[in-house]
Amino acid sequence: MSKKSSKECVGNYVKVAGKTYPCTVSLAMDLIGGKWKAVILYHLKDTEKRFSELRKEISLVTEMTLSLQLKQLEKDGIVTRKVYGEKPPIKVIYEMTDFGKTFIPALEAITNWGNQIVTQKGEFISES
């Protein structure tokens, strides 16, 4: 039996920004877990986007859910929200922070794994 060299189990818990987690996986999943956060980040990984662009690209998400998930990602320092203009129509741009960009290698691994699953067990379909 090999000895574990990772750090997530050095103590009983980990604490970040005042929140305590049972392990580092729990911490990471709190930041990017759920049905939509990783999808949103996938669409922001290469370039900044307006809310309306994200809404169009992720057509299955409701406007309210997209807004709430973006607010959470912003609160956690993963995306930034920049507002241009003071009177409607204002322009709001979302972009991954440098911290958020550290997730891109994991995001690409998740994307590749998903592609592999579809290739082996399903099919890619396009909207008609």
Tokens for 112, please give them.
């590749």
Range of the domain at 65: 35-106
Q: Is residue 125 part of a domain?
A: no
* Contact of 13 with 20, CB cutoff 8 Å: yes
The interaxial angle of helices 37-44 and 63-75, nearest 10 deg, is 80
Could you tell me the pTM of the whole model? 0.85
pLDDT (0 to 100) of residue 1: 44
Q: Tokens in use for 108?
A: 């690409």
Q: 79: domain CATH number?
A: 1.10.10.10
In a domain, 91, yes or no: yes
The predicted-structure confidence for 26-78, as pLDDT tens digits, reads as follows: 999 999 999 999 999 999 999 999 999 999 999 999 999 999 999 999 999 99
Stretch (H or E) spanning 45? none
**108-120 pLDDT tens trace:** 999 999 999 999 9
Residue 77 lies in a domain: yes
Is residue 4 in a domain? no
Which tokens in the block code for residue 13? 């818990």
pLDDT, tens digit, 9 for 90 and up, residues 80-107: 999 999 888 889 999 999 999 999 999 9
